[in-house]
Amino acid sequence: MLKRKIGVGLNGSDANTYGETSAKERNVLVSSVLTVTLVIVWLLVGSATVAVAASAPGNDPGASTFEAHCATCHAPDGSGNTAVGKSMKIPDLHSAEVQKLSDAQLADVIANGKGLMPGFKSSLSKDEIDALVKHVHQLAEKKAMSQ
């Protein structure tokens, strides 16, 4: 009778000790999973903020598309002041000849190309092309403001 009681008691405390240990281990596991999750959330939020910030300047979403697809030839400021621009005799996008073009004409040049300029209708969406048309006009506004 007594022996059995002790046995039960020992078994019981053994189980408790194991229980406590694995609970601690679980806590460590849970907190490291939480930490990893927090880091991932932080990274996602961080990159989303950067993306928003990149498209924010001057409320001109065409600016980043222009940087990525057009600046190699036209220069980031649209002046055409690049080695490629000079060799291709690329017009300054601020010039009256370019600025007098309608939105539809500009969208047509960007989509289908002109002379040595390739068309972008297969690599850019209609929205991106529309944003670029706005950007080309904003280039001239910026120049007018700085004069």
Q: Which residues bind ligand HEC (CB under 6 A)?
A: 69-70, 72-74, 84, 88, 90-91, 93, 97-98, 101, 106, 109-110, 114-118, 120, 132, 136
Whichever of 19 and 118 has its CB closer to ligand HEC, that residue is: 118
Q: Cα(30)–Cα(36) distance, rounded to whole angstroms?
A: 10
| Shortest reach from residue 142's CB to ligand HEC, in Å | 15
Instruction: Transcribe 35-54 into DSSP letters.
Output: HHHHHHHHHHHHHHHHHHHH
| Shortest reach from residue 31's CB to ligand HEC, in Å | 49
Whichever of 39 and 83 has its CB closer to ligand HEC, that residue is: 83
Task: Spell out the residues 6+ positions from residue 85 whose beta carbon is closer than 8 angstroms to its own.
Answer: 73, 74, 75, 79
| Shortest reach from residue 99's CB to ligand HEC, in Å | 9
Which residue is closest to ligand HEC by CB? Answer: 115
Whichever of 9 and 76 has its CB closer to ligand HEC, that residue is: 76
| Shortest reach from residue 81's CB to ligand HEC, in Å | 13
Backbone angles phi, psi at 136, to 5 degrees: -60, -40
Structure tokens at 96: 């009256």
Whichever of 19 and 76 has its CB closer to ligand HEC, that residue is: 76
Whichever of 84 and 144 has its CB closer to ligand HEC, that residue is: 84
| Shortest reach from residue 47's CB to ligand HEC, in Å | 25
